[in-house]
Amino acid sequence: MKNLFYYISAGSLYTSADKMLKKIEDTLDVFAENKEKIRILWYQDPAFQDLFLKDTEGVLSHYRRLLSDFEARDIGMIETQQEEDFLFWRNMRDEPFQRVGLSPSERRAVEQCAAYYGDPGYYAECFLEAGKPVMIQDPGIITEGKDAGL
């Protein structure tokens, strides 16, 4: 069984919430259908809570339901930043707006996962640099037979 790193950026969810929520639902279905072959490490963007502090359109509520569904299906684990990561970033605060490397949990995730699936960005680049496959999701593509909402 292989581990797959899954990442949704807060920005992509914020800018196209309806499409992204449908895409996440579809992706979770695909993951569940293949749970005998892959385990998912769903890495959480720490900006979600701040970005959706005012959940006026129910985006954060819907997203939290998707997280619960993911856990109920037993298709992987949800990774959030650990205390060691907060210490790492606090020690790096003298380097504003500069990425200085992976935190301890991020480094372990890249080492333990065979591939990356999700939004483009820093984590996708880390997997490329590690020589691992990177698949960028397209919110406009939904499994055949499902409504993409487009």
Tens digit of each residue's pLDDT (9 = 90 or more) over 7-64:
998 888 888 888 999 999 999 999 999 999 999 999 887 677 666 666 667 888 888 8
Distance of CA 147 to the CA centre of its chain: 22
Does residue 39 sit in helix, strand or coil?
strand
Whole-prediction pTM: 0.82
Neighbours of 148 (CB within 10 A): 13
Q: How far is the first Cα of the chain from the last one, in angstroms, to the nearest whole number?
A: 34
* Angstrom distance (rounded) from CA 91 to CA 56: 35
pLDDT of residue 108: 86
Q: Are the beta carbons of 45 and 8 closer than 8 angstroms?
A: yes
Domain range summary for the chain, segments of one domain joined by +: 2-136
CATH domain 2-136 topology: Rossmann fold (3.40.50)
